[in-house]
Amino acid sequence: MDTFNALAEPNRRRLLEAIRQEPCTVNMLVTRSDLSQPAVSKHLKYLREAKLVVVKPDGQKRWYSLNPNPLKEIEEFLEPYRQLSLNRLDALEQQDSSAIQKLTQIN
C-alpha cells in the first residue's frame, strides 16, 4: 500500500485525522469512528504499510502516532500543479468576477 492508495480511502483519512490530533490506541479509534475493531485494525495495517503511522506497544495497548514524512510524496506530486489553478484564480479574483464564474463552473 503506497501513500496515494492509503489516502484514497475516506475512513482511512478520518483515522489519520484522529491520529494527527493525538496518538491513539485502537480502541480510541473504534470509539471515534463507526467502524468495527477489525476494520480499524485492518486500516491501520495499511497506514503502517504506507508508513503514515508508527506504533508503540504499551502493555496490551498499541499507541498509533502520525509519521507525516510520506506526505511529502503527495506534496511533490502536487507541486507542478500549484501555479495553475490557485494562482490563476487568485489573479482573476482581482479583476473580473464573471470570468471566475466561467472557470469555476467547470469544477
Kindly provide the residue ranges of all beta strands, DSSP E only, lying in 3-98, ordered along the sequence.
53-58, 61-66
Q: Which of 21, 36, 65, 87 binds DNA (CB under 7 A)?
A: 36
Q: Is 90 in the site for a second copy (CB under 8 A)?
A: no
- Coil/strand/helix, residue 79: helix
Q: Measured between alpha carbons, how far is 11 from 19 in angstroms, rounded to an integer?
A: 12
* Shortest CB 103 distance to DNA, Å: 22
Q: Is 5 in the site for DNA (CB under 7 A)?
A: yes
Partner from DNA, a second copy, none binding residue 102, C-beta < 5-8 Å depending on class? none
| Position 19, amino acid | I
Q: Is 65 in the site for DNA (CB under 7 A)?
A: no
